[in-house]
Structure 1
C-alpha cells in the first residue's frame, strides 16, 4: 500500500490593491488667477485703509506725474493719485457686474425653467422672445434704454441685466430639459406634488451648479460691458472712479505723452477679465462634471 503523495499548497497570486482616489490638482494658472482675484477683492474691500490718498483729492501741482515715491502709479491730469482711484474704483467695477448678473439670472432662470417645464406654446413663446432679443444688437438695446431713462450706473446695470436675460434663459432651458427627464421628477409627480413645488424645491436647486458655473464665465464679459458703457459716457459719471470712466478721462493725456492715466485702469480691467475667464472656465468644467 503506497502512501498518498502530499503536494505543497500553491501560492495564491497577489491581488493588486486599489489605488486611492486622488483629488485632481488645480492647474497653476488657475491658482495664480484665483489668488489675484482674492487680492483684488481684498483691496476693494479695504480701499479706504490701503489707498494713500482720497480718490477725489485734486493737486494741480502734481498733474501727470509719473511713478515715484509719492505716487506709485502716477497721477492723472487733475493730479489725482491713480493707485487710490483704481483701488476705490474696484468696488464699483466688481459689484455692478454681480448685480446685473443677479438680475439676469433671476429673469433668465425663471423663463428657462418655465419653458422647459411647460413646453408647448409656452416654450415656443419664450424661445421666440429670446430669438428676437438675440437678433437685436445688445449694445444698441442698452443704449436705447439709457436714452429713455437717462445715463448712469443704475440704468446701465438694469439695461445690461435685461440684455443678458435671453442668454441665461437659453442655457437654463437646455439644462432644465435634461433634468426634467430624470426619474425623480416623475416620482414626485406620482406622489401628487404640484409642478411649481417640484421646480422650486428640486428642479431649480439641482440646476444650481451648472448655472453658477455659467454665471462665473459671464462675469468677465459683464465687467467689460459695463466698462465699455462708462467709457462711452453712458455708465458711471464723474467724479466716479469707475475703471471704464478712468480710461475715458485719461485718453486726452495720451496725446501729451502720458500713458499711465489710461493704461493703469485699462490694465486693471484686462487683468481682472482674464483672471475671471480662467477661473470661470475651470469652475464651469468642475461644476458641470459633478452635476
Structure 2
C-alpha cells in the first residue's frame, strides 16, 4: 500500500464537491435576506415607493438616497424593496398554478397510459412548439394587461414543462412494488395517486419548481418590461427597468441598473440554490 503524505493536495473531485455547498449556502443566505427585506420593506425603506420629488430627479447615490432616484425623483432603494414583494410573490403564484395543472396531467398520463398518455404527450408537444411568450401575449391581448393576466398566462405556459417532468418521475415511481401492493388490497387508482404516488413525488417536484423559479421571475419581469405585466405606479422590478431606460440617454444608469441587478442577482441565486436542492432531493429520494 502506498502511503499518502499528510500535506498532499485534495483530489479535484473532493475540492469541487466542497465548493458546491458553499455556493449554495451563499445563494440561500442572499435569498433569505431578499425575502426579509421584502417582508420588512415598510420599516427599511426610507421613503414611500410612490413619493415623487421632481427637485431630486436623477440624483446619484448619497446620504439621502443611497441608490439614487429615478426621473420622477422616487427613491430607488425604497422602490426596489417594495418591488421585491410583487417580484417574488408573483412567481410563486405562477408556479403554484402551473404545478397543479402540470402535476395533475403528468400523473394522469403516467397512471393511465395508453391513449390518455398519448393525448397528454401530444398536447404538451403542441404547447412546446408554440412559443410560450407569444402564447402569453395572445392571452393578454384577449383579457387585457396586468399582473394577474400575466401570472395566469405564464402558469398555462409553464404547465407542459412540469407535466413532462412529472410524467417521467411518476412512471418510475408507478413501477415500484408498493403500488402493486395497494392494488392487491383493492385500493382505487385515484386514491393511490392522491395518498401515495403524488406525495412520494413531492420532493423531486419541489426541487424542480425551485429551479424553475428564476425562469418564472425573469419571464414576469420581461412582460412587465414590455408593458404587458405590472402597470404604473407599481414598483415591479421589470417595470422599473422599462421606466429607467429613458434616463440612460441622459447619462443616468442607476434607474435601470439597480432593478436590473436585483433581477439578475435573484435569478442566479435561485438557480444555484435550486440546482443544489434538486440534487439533494433527488439523491435522498
Q: Flag whether TM exceeds 0.5 (same fold).
A: yes
Aligned residue for 2:215? 221
SS of structure 1 residue aligned to 2:103? helix
Bigger radius of gyration, 1 or 2? 1
TM superposition shift of 1:31: 1.1
4+ residue runs of structure 1 moved beyond 3 angstroms?
none
Contiguous gaps of at least 5 residues in structure 1: 1-23
- In the other structure, the counterpart of 2:107 is 113
Decide which of 260, 265, 279 is 1:266's aligned counterpart: 260
Give 1:72's match in structure 2, choosing from 66, 77, 84.
Answer: 66
Counterpart CA distance in 1 for 2:102 and 2:21 is 32
For 2:161 and 2:235, locate their aligned partners in 1 and report how far apart those are by CA, in whole Å. Answer: 30
| Alignment counterpart, residue 140 of structure 1, candidates 134, 144, 151 | 134
Residue 130, structure 1, aligned to residue 124, structure 2: yes
For residues 193 and 70 of structure 1, the distance between their equivalents in structure 2, rounded to whole angstroms, comes to: 66
- Quote how far apart the aligned CAs of 1:237 are: 0.1
TM-score with structure 1 length normalisation? Answer: 0.91
- Distance in structure 2 (CA, Å) of the matches to 1:147 and 1:132: 21
**What is the Cα deviation at residue 30 of structure 1?**
1.0
- Partner of residue 75, structure 2: 81
Q: Cα RMSD between the aligned structures?
A: 0.8
Deviation, structure 1 residue 284: 0.3
Tell me the distance in 1 between the aligned counterparts of 2:29 and 2:181. 44
Equivalent pairs, count: 268
Deviation string, structure 1 residues 53-111 (Cα, Å, up to 9, x no partner)? 00000000000000000000000000000000000000000000000000000000000
Structure 1 residue 38 displacement after superposition: 0.4
Scaled by the length of structure 2, what TM-score is found?
Answer: 0.93
Which structure 2 residues correspond to residues 58-207 of structure 1 after superposition, within 5 A?
Answer: 58-207=52-201
More helix by share: 2
Distance between the aligned counterparts of 2:128 and 2:107, measured in 1? 19
1:240 aligns with 2:234: yes
Alignment of 1:37-76 (within 5 A): 37-76=31-70
